[in-house]
Structure 1
Amino acid sequence: MNVIEVNDLLKRYPQRTSKEMLTAVDKISFHVKEGEIFALLGPNGAGKTTTIKSICGLLVFDEGKIKIKDYDLKTERSKALKQISVVLEGSRNLYHRLTPIENIQYFVGIRGKKISKNEALDILDFLGIKEKANEVVYTLSRGMQQKTALAVCLAADTDVLLLDEPTLGLDVISNVEFRKLLTNVKQKGKSILLSTHDMALVEEIADRVAIINNGKIVVCEDKKKLMDVFSATGYKIKVRSEDTLERELDKIGITELTKEGNVYDLTVDFKTSSELYEVMDFFKSRNVEIVSIEKQMVNFEKIFISYTNGDRGRQN
C-alpha cells in the first residue's frame, strides 16, 4: 500500500527581479510505501522543502495531485492532513518557551486529541530525553530540540511522518543518535518521508531514494539497487613498478592515483567487466606487479555526484 502518492507536482514562485517565474518543483512524481523510510536526497535549493510543505498543506501547489492514504489533498484536505505529522527544519514546530511535556500536550490538543503526562513521558523516554521533560525548550541543545520535535510528531500518533532536514545542525554524536532513533521509529510501524542533503543518513537508514536536483527527480530507486550498481564498477588497484606509469595510465583513462616509491594506488571505475580485463592485460604486457585489487564500498556521495552531473538517466 502507498501511504503517499505525488503525481506531476509543480510549484512556481514569482521572482522579485523579473517577471519570470522560478520553478521550484518541476512536475515530480513518487510514492512512499507503507512501513518504509523514503528519502528525498538533494542539495540546498533542490526543491525538497517545497515538496514537503506542499504535502503537509503549508504551500498551495500549482499543478499535480497529492494523495495521503487515499485521501486527495485538494478535495479531502482535512482527512488527508490527519494522516500525517511533521518535523520541519530548524525545530520550527516547537514553542521554545514551553517545556517538552507542554509542547507535546499543546500540539496534541490542537489536533483534538488528549495525551496524559505519563504517555508523554513514555515518548520522551523512548527518545532518551525524559530527564529534560520539564526544561524550557530554548535552553536545550540543538540535538535535544530535534528529539523534542520528533516527540511531538510521535505524540500525534499518525502512521505517516514527514521529516524535513531532521539532522541539520546536529553535532556528530547527536546525528548518530538520531539515525538510530529513526530506525526505531520505523520498527514501531511508522512510514517516514525524509528530506535531507545528509548522504550518510540516507545510506544508513533509507529503504528507497529519490535524488532531486533543480526541481527535478533524476533517479528514484531502491537504495540497495543504487548501491549495487556503483559497487560493481568501482575498484582500488595497487601495483608495483620500477618504471614511470603516469603517462601510460592517463592514456587508458586512469587519472585518479597516488604514488609512494614504486607503488601506485589507483582508483578506477569500469562500465563493463571487459574493461577490467583490458587493464589487467595492460599490466601483464608491461610486467607490472599487481599487489592487490579491492572492490570499493559505495557511498551516496559518489551516487549523488554521478546523477546530479547528468551522467545517468533522467526522472523515473
Structure 2
Amino acid sequence: TPDRTTSHGEPAVEVEGLRKRFGEGDDAVVAVDGVSFAVETGSVVGLLGPNGAGKTTLIKSVLGMVLPDAGTVRVRGVDVDDRPRAAYASVDAMLEGARNDYWRLTVRENLRYFAAVGGVDPDAVADRHDRLLDQLGLADRADTPVRELSRGMKQKVSLASMLAGGAEVVFLDEPTLGLDVESSRILQRELRRLAEAEGLTVLISSHDMDAIETVCDRVLVMSDGRVVADDDVDALLRRASAGRVAVASPDLDDATVASLRERFDVAAVEPRDHAPGARVEVAAAGDAVYGLLDHLEAAGVTPERLRTVEPDLEEVFVGLTDLEDEP
C-alpha cells in the first residue's frame, strides 16, 4: 500500500474547464463536461468511471489527440495550446487498443528506438533500460522479437518502451489488461517505485479496482462526463465506512432477519456455508451497534461472529456512480 501522506510538488498537469461535445443538435453527446483537476508531480492518480463516462475522451483531450471545445490544459506549467512541443516534451502514454511497440523488433531494440524518438541517446540510458527490463521481468527476453511474446509480456514491453526515454509524466489506459496477477503486481510496484524514487507523475485509467486502490495516491471518479469525486484513496474509503457490521449466527432465521429489516438498514443477507443460520450486514455505527446487539439478544440470537465491514474502492465507485444515475 503506498504512503499516501507524502506531500508532492507543484502540479505536473492542470486541467481547467475542459469540455468536449460530439455531434450537433439533438444527436449531440457531451463526453467531457467542464472537468477541472490537477495532478501533482510525483503522484499516481487513478481515473475511474463506467463505460461512456468520458475517461478516454478526457485523456485524449489532455494529450492533444482530441481537440476540446473549451478549457485549458497545462503540462509542467506550459499551456498546450501556446507551446505544444514544449508542453508534451516529457509526456508519454500507453493507450488501450493501440499497438504501442514494433513487433518485429526485439524487446531491447524497442526500448532503444523509443528512447531515440524521445530525443534521448539510447547508449546514455542503457543502464535505465537494463533496470526496466529487470524490474518488469523482461531481462531474459530482451533479445526476443516482441511478436513472439505473450499478451501480458507485450503489455510489459509497452510500459518499458514508454519509460525508456525518461518521460516525466505518463498516461496509462488499462495498463493491467491481459496481465496475470503476478505481472500486474510487478507493474504496480514499478510504478510506485518510479513515482517515489524518480518523481514520475502517473495518471491511470482502469477498471482494475484492486490495482487502483493499491497503487494510487488519489482517485478521480467520472460519470456522464463530469468528475463526481476527487479525493485521496483513504478518504474515499472512509466515505463508505459510515459503519457496517457483519453478524453471523446459527440463530438468524427469516423472522429475525425480517425484524432487523424493520429497524435497521440491512445491506446484505447470506446463507452460511454448510451451517444453519445466516450472515447479515447491517448499517450500524457508534451507539447503534449497542442497539443492534440489544435487538439480537431480545430475539434470542447469539452472535457467533461480529466484525466491522471494511469497504473497498469498488464499493465506493458503485455507490458514487449509482447515485449519479438516480433521477
What's the TM-score, normalizing by structure 2? 0.86
What is the alpha-carbon distance in structure 1 between the residues aligned to residue 310 and residue 178 of structure 2? 27
- Give secondary structure in 1 for the equivalent of 2:71: strand
Q: 1:202 aligns with which of 212, 220, 232?
A: 212
- Code of the residue aligned with 1:299 in structure 2: it is D
Contact 1:69/1:83 (8 A) holds in 2: no
Matched, 1:284 2:297: yes
Alignment size in residue pairs: 310
Matched, 1:118 2:118: no
Give the structure 2 partner of residue 140 of structure 1. Answer: 149
Could you tell me how far 1:292 is from its partner in structure 2? 2.6
Give the structure 1 partner of residue 281 of structure 2. Answer: 267
Matched, 1:183 2:192: yes
Could you tell me how far 1:232 is from its partner in structure 2? 4.4
Q: 2:68 aligns with which of 39, 61, 65?
A: 61
What per-residue deviation string (whole Å, max 9, x for no partner) do you get for residues 3-37 of structure 1?
A: 1111111112228xx86221111111111112111
What is the alpha-carbon distance in structure 2 between the residues aligned to residue 311 and residue 83 of structure 1? 36
What per-residue deviation string (whole Å, max 9, x for no partner) do you get for residues 108-154 of structure 1?
A: 22232211183433432232202222222121112211111111121
Could you tell me how far 1:309 is from its partner in structure 2? 0.6
What per-residue deviation string (whole Å, max 9, x for no partner) do you get for residues 155-175 of structure 1?
A: 121221211110112233322
Give the structure 1 partner of residue 83 of structure 2. Answer: 76
Identify unmatched segments of 5+ residues in structure 1: none
What is the alpha-carbon distance in structure 1 between the residues aligned to residue 46 and residue 277 of structure 2? 41
Q: 1:205 to 1:312 in 2, by over 3 A?
A: farther
What is the alpha-carbon distance in structure 1 between the residues aligned to residue 126 and residue 271 of structure 2? 62
What's the TM-score, normalizing by structure 1? 0.89
Matched, 1:257 2:276: no
Contact 1:143/1:174 (8 A) holds in 2: yes
Matches within 5 A, 1:26-45: 26-45=33-52
What is the alpha-carbon distance in structure 2 between the residues aligned to residue 73 and residue 306 of structure 1? 35
Q: 1:160 to 1:255 in 2, by over 3 A?
A: closer
Moved more, 134-143 or 174-183: 174-183
- Give secondary structure in 2 for the equivalent of 1:303: helix
Q: 1:111 to 1:180 in 2, by over 3 A?
A: closer
- Code of the residue aligned with 2:147 in structure 1: it is Y
Contact 2:267/2:283 (8 A) holds in 1: no
- Code of the residue aligned with 2:175 in structure 1: it is P
What is the alpha-carbon distance in structure 2 between the residues aligned to residue 118 and residue 30 of structure 1? 36
Contact 2:239/2:316 (8 A) holds in 1: no
- Code of the residue aligned with 1:118 in structure 2: it is A
RMSD: 2.4
- Code of the residue aligned with 1:202 in structure 2: it is I
Matched, 1:217 2:206: no
Could you tell me how far 1:97 is from its partner in structure 2? 2.0
Matched, 1:231 2:241: yes
Contact 2:39/2:45 (8 A) holds in 1: yes
What is the alpha-carbon distance in structure 1 between the residues aligned to residue 132 and residue 271 of structure 2? 54
Q: 2:320 aligns with which of 304, 307, 316?
A: 307
What per-residue deviation string (whole Å, max 9, x for no partner) do you get for residues 258-288 of structure 1?
A: 3456533111234x53443332232233332
